[in-house]
Structure 1
Amino acid sequence: MKDVISDSQAAFEAEALGALFGGMAEAGLRHAVLRNYENLPDSVGARDIDIVVHPDDLSAACALVADTARSMGLRLGNHFADERLTQFALVRRDADGGLQQIKIDFFIRSEVYGIEILSAGDMLADLRHHNGVPVVADRVLLLDKWLFHLLVGRPVHAKYDADFAAIAGAEGAALVRSLSRFLPPARTTELVDALAAGKGSTLVLARAERRRALARLWAAQGLAALPRSLRFMGFRLRDRLRPHGVFLSVSGPDGAGKTTVIDMVITQLGAIYGEGAVHYAHFRPTMLPRIAEVAKKARAVETVDVNYDQPHRAKPSGLGGSAARLAYYWLDYMGGYFRSVRPVLKRREVMLFDRYYYDMIADSFRSRIALPMPLLLAMGRILPLPHYAFFIHVDPDEIHRRKQELTMERIAALNARYGTLADSGWLIRIDNNGAPEDAAAAIVDRIVADRHARAPRALR
């Protein structure tokens, strides 16, 4: 494998997009691209492709994506659906093992807090066509983003000022009509005029103004308002109880090549789940500081040892000290999960740890803990652990060649302890005696296969 991302990604995108838009046109599905259409239908040209689909055609559009995936040998690396959005991340590998992927988002309306801002009918009116692909009108592109930001109390990014000013200058009357549904006429005119003057990034509604606007929009929906609000709250509760993000860890002895493999995994997961959506941390959440730093602040020690190149340099603590260390780290894993990890998962992003609690079990001397493995396992069973925990296995002689600080006997013992965790289901064994690209691909493919298996049966 020359690279983790396929050299033929561009040709793959053209094939997938041709099948998608050709199929939607042939089936007569009401749809239009919302943004980033300039390179279509040959290339996505962005992180993903956003498509407005009429709600009555959504099931058929999802079935088309599933049929396209099956015909092209693609797997669902990600599938998510709520009251307004359906997401697909389709993944496969080329003949050389390079990753090919495409992300598709279907929207059936524009909304905020479960309150409809623009219906699919509104968004699919006055369509344009770009290279045969239907695209929403400029005012719809503007209203979808601007109204959402106004109603949540955040300004749009300054990069939109010039484009939005041009649209507001050309279609000011239509924008005024849209805003007049929930704002007083004078305020509506003031906002549209400011937008046309290039001041969109400075426009923010006060909290009381937003509340009144949302109340008017909600009331205007009539009998549909309450069911939509209940669905919105139901999906938000679901996402809080069962976050959709990916939580993984990579463990193994020093010298197993974890860093190289992890870098490749991050690149591939970033391609699948979005650039900037992969978050990296080392060993523990660090909600609590290092014990040595606490001891220094308490003046129990004068200096903090920061010689990280030799993690096994210090002797393990006694029984009491080991128990205290275990309790301290356990609290960090538990509290840090809710403080640092779970928010990432609720945003449907990826949290990757280089080492995790498993390394404290297999290599407890690294944390100066000398306690029986059954006790460490018992404490681990009541922690929120990664969905995917990988053990990078390398033969002892190869590790010793890379990391002379460890003896062959110590390396063999560590491999055996990690292997015991893998054999008992705590870890997933990944061989890294060959090319690191192969190990990284094995990790990513394991995650993709599991996410594919979790997708609705009709889509697989």
Structure 2
Amino acid sequence: MASENEPASGSGQGLSRFSSGFAVNQADQMNVAASAQPSPDDASTVAVEAVRKQMFLDFCAALDAHAMPYVILSGYSGYPDRIDSDIDFMVSEADFLRLPALFNDASSVPGARLVQAVQHGPSACCYALASHTGHRIAYLHPDSTASYRSKGRLWLRGQAVLASRRKAAAGFWIPAAAVEFEYYFVKRCDKGVVEAHHIDTFATLLAEDPVGCRAVLARLAPLPLSDELESAISKGNVAWFEQHRQQLQLALSDSMPREAFVGRLLSRASEILRRARRILRPTGLVIAVLGPDGSGKTTVIEHLERELAPVFRRVRRFHLRPHFGAALGSTVVTDPHGEKPRGHLASAAKVGLFMIDYWMGWLRWVYPAKVRSNLIVFDRYYHDMLVDPARYRLPRGSFLQRLLVDLVPKPDIWLILHAPPELLVARKGEITLEAAQVLSKDYAHLAFQLHAISIDTGRGLKETLAAAVAAPLEYLATRTSARIGAAR
């Protein structure tokens, strides 16, 4: 994962590795991954699912208790026992504005904290509620909307949808079958992706209310297209939808007039403000994980990526620096401290290269990714050179890296791992006990200077991983709460 001059981090041999479904290609410094695959720890997965179920029940109860009529628009067939994705729900325009304060109130969903709120449309916002369950995190993602708009057309208003609502057998509110059919049909055709399970949903709703759903088809698609549509739904014909994708989108556009100019203007202005807020107050997160070889960085980073991934759209990992966006080879230096130091001139050039790389990388990749709600994890950071200059072949007495340290862009969270020196030597045999003691002392001093979160990886694995995810969750919850408070 490292170049010859920037050795790979230690593998954390004393910490057993998770075999995660969230796989990060360690040969790719700019690798993108996004998966919420559960840990293979079956007991903890069962516990997470049980907590998620209770969070959902509390979420519904909170809306009812605060007199906020709602409907869960689609995808609810397995609720509350199985919740595989976002909870798409609709409320009125007035209640949409009340949701941030509701979810920010810790008593609304007991045991959970609001850690993310991403507005992705003029009247659409997705929230992330998190409950720390041991070393795992249980999430609930309510995705709210007050209307369904697309391409200058207002397809559904919250008030009209809420007027049709009814209670599902499990006790939560859902729309009338024909209303849900219209929402789901327009959404899937507008996105241009209709797969077999989508058609199954169409068929189920059509069977429940054939008169209402046929009226929707007749309104949205002219004859004979509406008849062909019903036939394709009854036969589960995915190929037909693919072949007629553009025709369906055109028919939808023709069936609904564009909003009035004033409405479109207000919607556009709201969208511009939303994007400006996202740039100035990005919803992504940058974490730097530092520590001596043998402290367990790889294990901790993989756990962070897996457990925090559901809060973000994507996950990116960098090793030490952005590397100008280039994917590096997988050469690993097994004895980084055994390399001969460079001369002072070459070392100065190396530090200068790092500074340019950090700023170019931050402006070109890191900050834009943060704006796009990415989680960015650095495995090591510039500040490692302050503690362990020999690792980077800097000569004794080198000071330039210290002079420039305040100019380096800073992550949101510093995690500095440590373990007893004897354990570091046992895990990574390349260093002596004396060297391990010096590194431990210097990293502890760095943690104090940076106000970093210090994590003792000499404890049990689950305790270590629980501490690792607790810090980012606390940061996200505090940041989200402050933003909601400032917006009120």
**TM tier, smaller:** 0.7 to 0.9
Tell me, what secondary structure is at the counterpart of 2:216?
A: helix
Counterpart of 1:46 in structure 2 is: 84
Of stretches 104-113 and 2-11 in structure 1, the one that deviates more from structure 2 is 2-11
Q: Give 1:300's aligned residue.
A: none
Secondary structure of the corresponding residue to residue 124 of structure 1: helix
Q: Using the alignment, how far apart are the partners of 1:58 and 1:89 within structure 2?
A: 16
Which amino acid is 1:73 matched to? G
**Conserved 8 A contact 2:58-2:110:** no
Q: Unpaired runs of 5+ in structure 2?
A: 1-40
1:156-207 per-position Cα deviation (integer Å, ceiling 9, x unaligned): 153456336636895354145347xxxxx6898699579755433445549x
Q: Which residue is 2:192 aligned to?
A: 155
Partner of 2:15: none
TM-score normalised by L of structure 1:
0.79
CA distance in 2, matches of 1:119, 1:159: 28
Find the aligned partners of 1:315 and 1:445 in 2 and give their Cα distance: 40
**Equivalent AA in structure 2 for residue 273 of structure 1:** V
2:116 to 66, 78, 87: 78
Supply the distance in 1 between the matched residues of 2:349 and 2:480 (Cα, whole angstroms): 43
**1:93 and 2:132 aligned:** yes
**1:174 is matched with which residue?**
216
- State the one-letter code of the partner of 2:125: T
1:285 to 306, 309, 322: 322
Could you tell me the percent identity over the aligned residues? Answer: 24
Quote how far apart the aligned CAs of 1:432 are.
Answer: 1.7
Q: Distance in 2 between matches of 1:378 and 1:255?
A: 29
Tell me which residue corresponds to 1:424: 449
Equivalent pair of 1:322/1:370 in contact (CA under 8 Å): yes
How far off its partner does 1:440 sit? 2.3
Counterpart-to-counterpart distance in 2, 1:246 and 1:194 = 48
Residue 235 (structure 1) shift: 0.6
**One-letter identity of the residue aligned with 2:52:** E
Name the structure 1 match of 2:270. Answer: 231
Contact kept, 8 Å, 1:393 with 1:431, in 2: the verdict is yes
Give the match for residue 298 of structure 1.
none
State which of 406, 430, 451 in structure 1 corresponds to 2:476. 451
Q: Does residue 333 of structure 1 match 2:374?
A: no
Residue pairs, 1:91-130, within 5 angstroms: 91-94=130-133, 98-112=136-150, 116-124=154-162, 126-130=164-168
SS in 1 for 2:446: helix
- Say whether the 8 Å CA contact 2:278–2:371 is kept in structure 1: yes
Shift of 1:112: 3.6
Of 95, 101, 114, which residue of structure 2 is paired with 1:57? 95
Q: Tell me, in whole angstroms, the C-alpha distance in 2 between the residues paired with 1:46 and 1:332.
A: 40
Secondary structure in 1 matching 2:117: strand
For residues 234-264 of structure 1, give each alpha carbon's deviation from its aligned partner in whole angstroms, at most 9, with x where no partner exists: 1112212332012112111111111222232
- SS in structure 1 opposite 2:88? strand
What code does the residue aligned with 1:18 have?
L
CA distance in 2, matches of 1:115, 1:371: 67
The change in CA–CA distance for 1:5 and 1:243 in structure 2 (over 3 A counts) is farther
Normalized against structure 2, the TM-score is what?
0.75
How many residues are treated as equivalent by the alignment?
Answer: 432
CA distance in 2, matches of 1:375, 1:65: 48
Q: 1:305 to 1:123 in 2, by over 3 A?
A: closer
List runs of 5+ in structure 1 lacking aligned partners.
180-184, 294-303
2:417 is the counterpart of 1:396: no
